[in-house]
Amino acid sequence: METEGNELRLSELSGKEIVDVKKAERLGVLGQTDLEIDENSGQIRALLIPSLKWFGFKRQGGEVRVPWRHIKKIGNDMIIIDVPNNDLDEG
């Protein structure tokens, strides 16, 4: 995963648009986002995105889990993801 700088704060993810590179479509804008972190290694496992609407589907709450390995680039205004089919976890 590439970033346009050397560091990124969690608060800076909010407001960025998510774009799926395979489908060439805009998936939405991140709001309040959380991280799933491996407590043994300290590495980020996934973005946890609470949402009532995700990928055009209305939801009753919960969250969408985007594995960190699928994030290809975090830019100033957007996050580019490349997610294989059915590899987003909804909980």
What is the per-residue pLDDT across 22-70, written as a single tens digit (0 to 9) for each? 878 777 777 767 788 999 999 989 887 766 554 544 444 577 788 899 9
The per-residue pLDDT for 69 is 92
d(CA 16, CA 75): 8
The CATH class that applies to domain 2-90 reads mainly beta
HSE (side-chain half, CA atoms, 13 Å) at 26: 7
Q: Which two tokens stand for residue 88?
A: 């987003």
* Band of residue 5 on the pLDDT scale cut at 50, 70, 90: low
Look at 75 and 51; give whichever has higher pLDDT: 75
10 Å Cβ neighbour count for 82?
15
- Domains of the chain, by residue range, sit at 2-90
